[in-house]
Structure 1
Amino acid sequence: MTVDTSPGTEDDQDPPATAVPVSETAAVDAAVQAAETVLTRRFGSPIGLVEPEALPGSGPATVVRARIAASPFGLPRTLVIKHYPDAPPRGVADPFAQEAVSYQLFTALPAEDRMCPELLAHDGPLRVLVIDDLGRAPTLWDKLRGPDARPAERALLSWARSLGRLHATTAGREADFEALLRRLGGFAPDEDTTPAVACARLPTLLEEALGVGTPDDVRAYAEQVRESSASSPFRAFSPVDLSPDNNLVTSGGLHFLDFERGVVRNALVDAAHLRVPFATCDDARALPTGMSEAMIAAWKAEVSGVWPALADNEVLSAHLLDHQMLLVWVATWAALGGSSAGISQHRAAALVAWWQDLGTYAERGGKDAVAAHARAVSAALDDRFGPGLELPLYPAFR
């Protein structure tokens, strides 16, 4: 979903994200009623909400912006409601609980360390969150598809720096996160098994779809990386969904949204997206030369105080290579795991570029077998879906 933030600097003057027209549907009414109830309980006096505006979203929540009719408590003029009417089946992770706990975790931090809207009220039985409405401002995606490279560069660096700060401020908070989850009746999701499945199945897919074998030492390296990733000491909170439309560029810096999948996990899984930007997005595109390195430097500056080992460039590069490889393997397995004929040329071009980059970084890191395999896969993907595939830059950098 997309929630807008307030305009302030010159970077915030893009057209606001398009909202769904106001509609008095049962879902919107239910969200507003739940919000009024929890706000009244929270502040001890009736608080009415008017002019509800449904906001777009792809998750299970009904998302509404509403104006406070009158309040003596100094609340913001407008706020955003996220209502999760349906509880998940027993044993399935609850996106409401994960999002509520994520906001609780950040709302407890000092304002300067809070990289998301403030949680104003929430209620477990009602399954509703009420958060600060930061107004209307562009997303990171808006900047990347805009007409000017400089605002896009600043937004990317702000995103990387904020991601590092998010990790640094939540390192060592896993026990707090899990305790808050239990209080809401949720539970910490099991470690993501997707990398294990990808490591086990991708070699066969590469052989069948592309005719490329995976050497035993490359398979062993991938499995070793997967195992060590799950037991990494570099654990911190992650929004998991790092799509650029879930990151808002405001006068006060970048803000993260949508914590429906928020967990504590290996922070280097997130950091790998600095080398393979927005790999989970269907419309992922290329960044200009040197941009990833600048983003990594911005992230590193924030986390090295908490994790001194990552201040060493060689150590950090080795960790990033490991998780870059995992991310590329997972993305390729996801693409080839269905009907390979259904892969768009754009997605195929992204895979070609990511495998090429993996080969370059692996060679720099002394992983010659990984580099050779990556180049073979890249060439085979281009032959299969091209030839001559090239991943276009984001519009701001053309």
Structure 2
Amino acid sequence: MTVLTEGRIIRVVRAAEAMLSQRAGSSVVLEDPEDLGGRGRTTVVRVRVAQNPFSQARTLVIKALPVDEEPHAFHREIAAYKYATTLPTQSRPGPQIIASDAQARVLVLSDLGHGRSMSGLLTGRDVTEAVHAVSAWGQALGRMHAATFGGESDFRALLRRGANSAQDVNVLRDQAVRAFSLFDGALRALDVPVPPRVTGMLANACDLFTEGEHRAFSTSDVGPENILINGEGVQFMDYEWGGFRDAILDVAYSQVTCGSVLSAPSQRASDPAVRERLEEALVDAWRAEVALIWPALSNRRVLARRLLAARLLWVWLSTVWMLPLDGLQPTVADIVEAGIGGTVDLAGAGTDDLAVVGASLSGANGHLHDLALYTSDPRVLVTRWADLATAAGRAGDDVLSATAVRIGAALTRDWLT
């Protein structure tokens, strides 16, 4: 641990002590900080509760952002934790919020303890164990969705208590809309014709962030890197962009990110049949939990069609983040993070346009690269398109299947040959 890191952790622990002491009306002492890492400039620390007369908790987790960080996203994260904490224990997706200070950018959470990561289970040697793990994953998603369907007004009330503008902060929605605006130009640059129906599917999938028949709470980044399995089951670890969206987006996100872990060349589960088996186990477990509230989704064909559109969105979004501009850096991921992606025509952009884009990157927040969806491995992206083509073929959507094959072939041509 560097001196700078140690100093930052000590400051975070002292801030949490002050917050908890004020809340309890008595001195709270936290000791033995353990650095758990954190994305970007976020600090995450596990601490032992050495003195607290009003709590039985032995350990807690502190999450802190720099005070100069943009506040509205943090208000949204607080609201997400508060909302999830009100849920019944069996439906609660992860840690409970103990205390928060929006001005200091500090959260204190319950400690989920130690367990096994979903990524580790998926990359193990036991396929049966992996099937059980993804079934638990789907079941946990379904329980969260079933428990929160119809609860969006309560979540919005929590958002309003923090900051009105926090209601407008929805990072993944904004990235999806910007990436969709790049769709036609990027594919022209790849020499891939796209049927209007596929473009329409992508547009409809973007609407699932703000509309949809199956709106429920989501912790947002529900990929395997953010899942811990402990004695109480599946725990989703990060609520940074939590909120309400159509639950179909969560299931499709899980399919895509699960397949990414399994498709790594070194993994024994790179076999497409194994990936298909695991995806089906995840979806079946999820559907069983939501069948009573969304009976139409018990029809496998109906559910498959809806999942295809959402899956297309996630596969395209992860692809567009990695597409280079005429062979130059930055990539589209950098442009979208800088917040100006919707203004650039990839097929028609000139050198001067790219220079302006590159000069704007210092403002990028870097968080996209921490998502389970993000990959810098072209082989993973090519496999995602192949898996989408296979899924579309199984669902009888030959148009989408053929389009996914063409895009995968174009990426293989440009990146892997």
TM-score by length of 1: 0.81
Task: Answer yes or no: is the 8 Å Cα contact 2:136–2:234 preserved in 1.
Answer: yes
Q: Deviations over 1:250-276 (max 9, x none)?
A: 011011111111121122111112432
Residue 195 (1) aligns with residue 176 (2): yes
Question: Match of 1:353, as an amino acid?
Answer: T
Aligned to 2:159: 181
Task: Answer yes or no: is the 8 Å Cα contact 2:262–2:275 preserved in 1.
Answer: no
**Secondary structure, aligned partner of 2:112:** coil
Aligned to 1:52: 33
Residue 76 (1) aligns with residue 63 (2): no
- Distance change (3 Å), C-alpha of 1:235 and 1:21: farther
Query: Identity of aligned pairs, percent?
Result: 35
Query: Which residue of 259, 275, 282 maps to 1:288?
Result: 275
- Distance change (3 Å), C-alpha of 1:51 and 1:190: closer
Aligned to 1:93: 72
Aligned to 1:142: 120
Residue 128 (1) aligns with residue 71 (2): no
User: Take 2:42 and 2:413, find their aligned partners in 1: how far apart are those partners?
Assistant: 43
Which deviates more, 271-280 or 300-309? 271-280
Aligned to 1:219: 199
- Greater helix proportion: 2
User: Take 2:408 and 2:43, find their aligned partners in 1: how far apart are those partners?
Assistant: 42
How far apart are residue 35 of structure 1 and its match?
1.4
Aligned to 2:362: none
> Superposition pairs for residues 149-188 of structure 1, below 5 Å?
149-185=127-163, 187-188=166-167
Root mean square deviation, CA, Å: 3.0
Q: Deviations over 1:94-153 (max 9, x none)?
A: 23x222222211221222222212222223333322111122222212223334333333
Q: Deviations over 1:237-259 (max 9, x none)?
A: 22222232211110110111111
**Secondary structure, aligned partner of 1:82:** strand
User: Take 1:335 and 1:130, find their aligned partners in 2: how far apart are those partners?
Assistant: 35
Q: Deviations over 1:310-335 (max 9, x none)?
A: 22222211111111122222222222
Paired positions, count:
364
Residue 381 (1) aligns with residue 411 (2): yes
Task: Answer yes or no: is the 8 Å Cα contact 1:359–1:375 preserved in 2.
Answer: yes
How far apart are residue 232 of structure 1 and its match?
0.7
- Distance change (3 Å), C-alpha of 1:127 and 1:262: same
Aligned to 2:247: 267
Task: Answer yes or no: is the 8 Å Cα contact 1:88–1:94 preserved in 2.
Answer: no
User: Take 1:109 and 1:223, find their aligned partners in 2: how far apart are those partners?
Assistant: 32
User: Take 2:58 and 2:208, find their aligned partners in 1: how far apart are those partners?
Assistant: 48
- Distance change (3 Å), C-alpha of 1:177 and 1:140: same
Q: Which has the higher contact order (CA 8 A, sep 6+)?
A: 1
User: Take 1:278 and 1:288, find their aligned partners in 2: how far apart are those partners?
Assistant: 8
Task: Answer yes or no: is the 8 Å Cα contact 2:386–2:404 preserved in 1.
Answer: yes
Runs (5+) with no aligned partner, structure 2: 332-373
Residue 208 (1) aligns with residue 167 (2): no
Which deviates more, 360-369 or 268-277? 360-369
Task: Answer yes or no: is the 8 Å Cα contact 1:98–1:181 preserved in 2.
Answer: yes
Query: Which residue of 374, 379, 386 maps to 1:349?
Result: 379
Task: Answer yes or no: is the 8 Å Cα contact 1:274–1:296 preserved in 2.
Answer: no
Which deviates more, 64-73 or 256-265? 64-73
Q: Deviations over 1:144-164 (max 9, x none)?
A: 333433333322221121112
- Distance change (3 Å), C-alpha of 1:111 and 1:196: closer
Question: Match of 2:233, as an amino acid?
Answer: G
Query: Which residue of 13, 16, 23 maps to 1:32?
Result: 13
User: Take 1:305 and 1:232, find their aligned partners in 2: how far apart are those partners?
Assistant: 17
Task: Answer yes or no: is the 8 Å Cα contact 1:122–1:130 preserved in 2.
Answer: yes
User: Take 1:242 and 1:228, find their aligned partners in 2: how far apart are those partners?
Assistant: 16
User: Take 2:8 and 2:262, find their aligned partners in 1: how far apart are those partners?
Assistant: 29
TM-score by length of 2: 0.78
Question: Match of 1:255, as an amino acid?
Answer: Q
> Superposition pairs for residues 232-381 of structure 1, below 5 Å?
232-278=212-258, 286=270, 288-338=275-325, 347-381=377-411
- Distance change (3 Å), C-alpha of 1:225 and 1:185: closer
